[in-house]
Every structure is written in structure tokens, then in C-alpha cells.
Amino acid sequence: MNNYFANRRSVRVYDHERPVPDSLIHSLLEQAIHAPNTGNMQLYSVIVTREPERLAALAPAHYSQPAIANAMVALTFCLDLNRFGRWCRLNGTEPGLANLQGFTWGVIDTSVFAQQFCTLAEMEGLGTCYLGTTTYNAALIAEALHLPHGVIPVVTVTVGYPAEPEAGPTDRLPLEAVMHFEEYADPTDDELRALYAPQEALESNRRFVAENNKENLAQVFAEVRYPRDQAEHFSRVYKEFLQSQGVSL
């Protein structure tokens, strides 16, 4: 158990000969809802998708990437202002969470809930993969899942028993890159280069640099994988969707 998380990895190819029982998903979610959350409001919901035609309907919103194309189950974790808001109104009061603070609380709570599920699922031998595309096409996902007003997709997790052989852990920055004692210790330029050097030296990352005709790994991230214009575009799209759901930012 001590090395479990140090060796974890995302799994994108699943064993279709080994279905994931509904009872297991239910049990894992039943445990995951005990995750910490803001004020015990539990500003989240999760939509479990496992029917092939419904998974196929979700796939385009995630650019049909391998994890969703091969998924046995997909869980869309959503910030849910609908349920809490309706409960408040049924009891003669108006909720005050359709704003940046409420959105932030909900995103944090939803993310913690999702991660609690992933931890429990992986401890049961399942593989999981986060899909970062959820906020890119939240409106398409909301349409496919028939989400009511105020229910906002935050993150999608695909689940299944791994079909591919065990691989090594995903490369990560060393702990000293992210851990600070008492106050933030901003590294010098030389220290910063040293922190990223092991990742830059990996053959897979060197190949990414060459394939994209860039000078270094930072340029691949900033100019190819996550360029500013793309981030700004999807920021506008997500903001417009949030506003259509009544969230004031």
C-alpha cells in the first residue's frame, strides 16, 4: 500500500470481456459521497453512463479520444446548483450560490468527490482516466445527458478493468518542486531548470519535441498542447455556458 499511489497511472484501454458490475459502481460512489465538502451542502451530482449508445453520444464532446471510445463506464461529475437551490426554495428561502464563490465551492467539492471515487475504484483493481475535455464542451455534454438548469459538467472519469499490461508510473516533478515549508520558496532559474530536467530528458518527451519541430518541452506545452488562443476560446465557451446556467461571474 505504501507504494500504491507512487505507481498509479491513467488507464485508457479497458477489458470488454470483464464488465464492471452496477453494484460495484454503486458501492464505490456510496463511499465516495463521504468525501469532505463545503458546509456539508454537497454541491455535486454524478451521471453514470454505461449503455453503448449513450457512451457513443458522449464521445464527440470528448473528441472521441481512446478513453471514452473504449470506456466500459463513464461518470460525469457535475456541480449541482439545481438540487440545493430547489430545496432552499421549497423551504421559503433563496440560495445565494449562483456566483463565483458558489461556483468555486462547487468545483472543489465535485473534484474531491471525483477523486475519492477514483481512489476507491483503483484500490478495487479498476483503471480510471480523467477527461480534461469536459469543460471544453460542457454544453454538448449537458445536452447529451439532459442536464437541468444549474447542473454544470466539471470532470468526466472513464472506468473499467485494464486491458493493457501494467506500465510504469507517469512521470512527475520531484516533490521539492511543489512542496514549500512555511512560505513559498521561489526557485532560481538554475533550480527551476534542474527540477524540469528529468522530464525533459525522457525519450517520450524528446520525441514530442522533435515531432512538433520545437526547441524544448516547454514550447510543446505552451504552443502545441495548451496554446493561449485555445485556452481563451474554451474559457469564453465555458463562461457563456455558466452564464446560461444562471451563474454570475
Candidate from 6-15, 74-83, 128-137, 198-207 with smallest mean pLDDT: 6-15
**Given pLDDT bands bounded at 50, 70 and 90, which one contains residue 26?**
very high
- pLDDT of 180 reads 96
Residue 2 has pLDDT above 60, yes or no: no
CATH number, span 5-167: 3.40.109.10
How far, in Å, CA of 104 to CA of 142, rounded?
Answer: 19
Q: Which three cell numbers stand for residue 156?
A: 468526466
Domain ranges of the chain: 5-167
In this prediction, residues 76-88 reach a mean pLDDT of 97
pLDDT, one tens digit per residue, over 41-73 is 999 999 999 999 999 999 999 999 999 998 999
Angle at 10 between CA 76 and CA 18, to 5 degrees: 75
Cβ(66)–Cβ(93) under 8 Å?
no
Residue 1 has pLDDT above 60, yes or no: no
pTM equals 0.93
pLDDT, one tens digit per residue, over 197-217 is 999 999 999 999 999 999 999
pLDDT, one tens digit per residue, over 92-146 is 999 999 999 999 999 999 999 999 999 999 999 999 999 999 999 999 999 999 9
In the sheet that 73-80 helps form, which strands lie side by side, from edge to edge? 44-49, 73-80, 151-160, 127-131
3-state helix, strand, coil in the chain (%, to 5): 50, 15, 35
Which residues does 140 contact at the CB level (< 8 Å), separation at least 6?
60, 61
